[in-house]
Structure 1
Amino acid sequence: MRTVVLTMKASVIEMFLVLLVTGVHSNKETAKKIKRPKFTVPQINCDVKAGKIINPEFIVKCPAGCQDPKYHVYGTDVYASYSSVCGAAVHSGVLDNSGGKILVRKVAGQSGYKGSYSNGVQSLSLPRWRESFIVLESKPKKGVTYPSALTYSSSKSPVAQADLWSTTTYTSSQNRPGADPGEMDSWKPGSVLLDEGLVPKEELSTQSLEPVSLGDPNCKIDLSFLIDGSTSIGKRRFRIQKQLLAEVAQALDIGPGGPLMGVVQYGDNPATHFNLKTHMNSRDLKTAIEKITQRGGLSNVGRAISFVTKNFFSKANGNRSGAPNVVVVMVDGWPTDKVEEASRLARESGINIFFITIEGAAENEKQYVVEPNFANKAVCRTNGFYSFHVQSWFGLHKTLQPLVKRVCDTDRLACSKTCLNSADIGFVIDGSSSVGTGNFRTVLQFVTNLTKEFEISDTDTRIGAVQYTYEQRLEFGFDKYSSKPDILSAIKRVGYWSGGTSTGAAINFALEQLFKKSKPNKRKLMILITDGRSYDDVRIPAMAAHLKGVITYAIGVAWAAQEELEVIATHPARDHSFFVDEFDNLYQYVPRIIQNICTEFNSQPRN
C-alpha cells in the first residue's frame, strides 16, 4: 500500500514539473511574439515655436527649408522659446537646410539674448524671455523615454489674454492670479502676460505678437541707403534692388539699441522715403521697403549725396551722436553728375560712404561717363573695403553678407569722426637761441611722436608747423602733405633757426598762415612748445586764438614761465598746459596729451 502511495506522489510531481516547464516555454514563445512598440519621431513645421510645446525634452523631425528668414530665431546657442525650433536648429549648425531629427531640451529663461548670423540664418536679439531651449543632435539618452506625440500649450487667444491683463492693475506677484514669482519680479506697469513671457503693451499687435528686438548692440550705426530710381534701371532691376534692401534690413537686426536704417531714392532729385526713426525694427522696415515705388529720371548721385549730407543725419531725423553715420550708395551703370566733391564734403562731415556699382559702362559707352573712376573718388579708402562692383544684377545678392559685415565693423569705419582723424593740428615751435641744436632735435622728436598717433590724410587729420624766434617761418601748411610718411619726413627736415622769443607774434602768425586755411568742419588744435618767457605780450594773441575756436596746448620746458603757459592754454589750463624741467622728459607727456585731446573730443557730439 505504501508503495502505491509513493508511486502516485511521484506521478503527481512529475506531472507538475511537466506543466511548469511547458508554461515557461509557452511564456517565452509569447514574449518572442510580442514586440516592443517602435518609437515614432514626431514631425513639426518650420514655424513651430518651442514655447508652444510643453514637453521639457523631446526629439522631433524638421522639414527642409527652415532657413527662411520668416521663421524668426532669437538668441545664439541658447534660444528664447519664442524662436522657431527648426530655425534655431539650422542656426546652431545641428541641421542644415535639408531638415532632419534633433533633440530639444528646455532650460531657464535668460536676460540678453544675443543675435548673430550663422549657417544662413540671422537670429535676433531680445532683452529677456521666461524660457529658453538648446538644440542637440538626436542621440537619445539611455533610460530616457521620449514622447512619440508632443503636448502643445492651450490655443487660447493671446490677444484675449492680453486684453484681460491690460484692464487689471497688479502691483506684485502675490495678487496676480497664476503669476510665476520669478517672472513677476520684473513685471512693469503696461506689460501683458502671454504664454511665453512678459511683453510691453505697446509691442502688442493684432497682426503679430512677436517680441520686438532692441537691435544688435554690436552694430550700432545710423545707416542711409541711397537707391537708384532712375528710368534706365527698369522695373525688374528696381525690384532686385529692393530685395537686397529687405535682406539687409533682416540681417542687421534693426532696433533702438542697434542699427537704424533709412532710405533715400534718387533720380533727377533725391527724396527721403523714411528716416532713421520711422521704423524701429526689421519687420516694419521690410514692409516699408516693399511699398517703395520707382521715381524715374536721371541718375544724379552727387546731388543725392549732398542732400543726405545736409538733411538726413540730423537729430530730428533720429541721428544718434554716439553712432557712426554710414551711407550705402547703389548705382546702376554710372552717375549722370559728378560725385567727387559731394563725397569729399560728406566724408569730412564724418560720413562713411560705401559704393555698390552694378554692371557699369561697356567699351562703347565709356564716352558717356561723366566722371571716370567715380567710385574710387567717392570713398575715403581705395583698398576695396568701401566699394563693391557687381558684374550683373542677378549677382547682387552675393554682396549681402560682406556688406553687412563691413558696415557693422565700427573699428574699421575710418571715415567716421574720431579724436585721431578729425583735426587740423598746427605745431608752433620755439627755435630761439636758448634751445640749442641738440634740444631742438629732441623737440622735433616730440612733435614726431605726437604726430604718429593720428590718422593722416587729406580727409583725416592734417598737420602744419611754424617755427619762431623774433620772426616766424611757415615750415609747411595743412595742405602740403597728405600722408603720414611724408609728414614725418617733413618734420625731420625742419632746420634749427636760432634767435629771440616772440611767442605772442608767433601765435598771431599761426592763426593767419595756418588756421585761417583750416577747413570749416575740422577741429583746430595748436600745440605750442617753448623754453622761455616771451619778449612780447601773449595775452591778446592767446585770446584771439580762443575766440577763433583754436584749442591751444602750451608745453613749457626749462625756463618757460608757468603763468604765461596758463594764459596761452585753453581753459581749463590744467588740461592744456604742461611743464617739464628738461627737454629729454618731453616724451613722457605724449600719452597724456593724446588722452586729453580724445577725452575732450569724446565729451562732444560725435557728428
Structure 2
Amino acid sequence: MREFVQRVIEKLNVGENKDRVSVVQYSREAEVHFYLNTYNTKEDILDTVRGLRHRRGRLLNTGAALQYVRDNVFTASSGNQGITKRDVVFLLDGSDGTSNGFRSMQDFVQRVVEKLNVGENEDRVSVVQYSRDAEVHFYLNTYNTKQDILDTVRGLRHRRGGPLNTGAALQYVRDNVFTASAGSRRLEGVPQMLILINGGRSFDDVDTPASALKDLSVFVFGIGTRTSDSGEMQRIASDPSYALSVAEFSDLPNVQMELSSAMTTVIVRSTPLTPTVIVERHLPKKDVVFLLDGSDAIQSGFPNMRDFVQRVVETLDVDDSRDRVSVVQYSSDPAVQFYLNTYTTKSEALATIRGLRHKGGRSLNTGAALQYLRDNVFTASAGSRRQEGVPQLLIVLSGGRSSDSVDSGASALKGLGVLTFAVGTRHSDRKELQNISYKPSYALSVSDLNDLPSVQQQLRSSMESVTIGVVPESPTVLGKEIFFFRK
C-alpha cells in the first residue's frame, strides 16, 4: 500500500501552486500523517511516505474516516485549493403531505448549513418553501452570517397547501432566486446549487423547468421519500446519481454525507486561456393587459385569480421603457383597476394587485369587455405603445360562459394586432375561449381557478414565443471556468 502511494506521488507535479498531497491512515479513528499544506516538495512527501508505520486497530470505521477528511482535510486551513464559494438554494416541500416530516426537513437544512463556509464572499444560502406556489423565506443576499441563516431556518413554519406544483416551484427559483438581484453570482462563475427536498409526486410538469435550470448551469440535487416519484426526481436532478432517497424524512441524516460529498466535488478552476462570451438575452418590451372575471359566480376563486396575476407580473420586467401592465375587472360592465401608464415600477403594480377586491355582478358580458379594452385601454392615451411596434398582449381569466357574443369584440382586438390568451375553467365554454384567443392554441383550461399555477409555465412560454426575437446586445466576456465532477 505504501509503495503504491509512492508510485502515484512520483507521477505528480508537486508544488505549492501545483499538485498538493495529504496522507491519512485510519482504523477505529483517523490520523493525519501530513496535510495538503505541510510539504511543498515531492522529496519531502516521499520521505514521509517511506517512513509510514502501520497504525493497527481492530475496527474499521470507513464512514467516520470519510467524514473526518471532509471536515478536517478538505478545508482551506489545511491547504485545500479546490474548495470554492457556492450559492446554495434549498427548495422545501411544504404541502399538506409533509406536515409530520417538516421538522426533520428543517433540522436537515440546519445540519447542511452548519458545514458551509457562509459569508458574503464565501457561501451564500437561500431557502424557498412551496406547495401550490412558492414562497421565498430569504434570498441569497439576505444574510451574510451563518448564525442569521440558522436562526431563520429554526423559526420556519410549515406552509401547508396543495396541490404540489414542483414544476412551477423550479421555474420560480430559476426566474426569481438564481438572479443577480437576488444575490446569485452565476455570471461571476460561482457554482449554483439547488437542493430539492420533496415528499410526493408533482401535479404539474417538471421536465421543462428542470431543463431550464440545467441550461442555467444550476446543479440540482433531489432528495425524496418513498412517497416521491423516483423517476421524476432523477429527471429533475442534474445527474441521476444526484437523486437521493430515504424512507421517511426522519432518515434524512443517512444521506447527509452523500449529499455533502456530491456538493464538494464541484471544483472550479479558473483558466484565463479562452474567454467565454455571454450574450445577455432580453425579451422585447411589451404591454400586458389582464382582463379578470369579477362576476358573482367566481367570488370564491377570485383570490386564486389575483395570486396568479401577481405571479405572472413578478416574472415581467416592469418599467416605463420596458414592460407595462394594466388590470381590468368585469362582470356586466368593465372597471379599469389601473392603466398601462399608471405605474412605472413592479412594486407599485403588485401592491395594487394584492389589494384588488372582487367586483361582483350577475351577468358576464365578455364581448362588451373585449370591445371596451379595444376602445379604452389599448390606446396611446392609456399608455399603449402599439403604434411604436410594441407587442400588445391580453390575458383573459374567465370562470364561465359569456352572457353576450364575444365574436365582434374578439375580432376587433385581432384587427388591432392584440395577442390574446384566454384561460378558463370547466364552467367556461371551450369554443368561446378559442374564439377569443388570437390562436386556438392560446386557449388554456384548468379544472378550477385554484389550479391556475399549473398553466403558468405554458402561458409564460407562449407569451415569450409571440414576442419579437432577441434584442442585440454587446457581449460580456468572462473568464472561462471549468467544473469537474467526481462520482
Normalising by structure 1, we get a TM-score of 0.37
Q: Which has the higher contact order (CA 8 A, sep 6+)?
A: 2
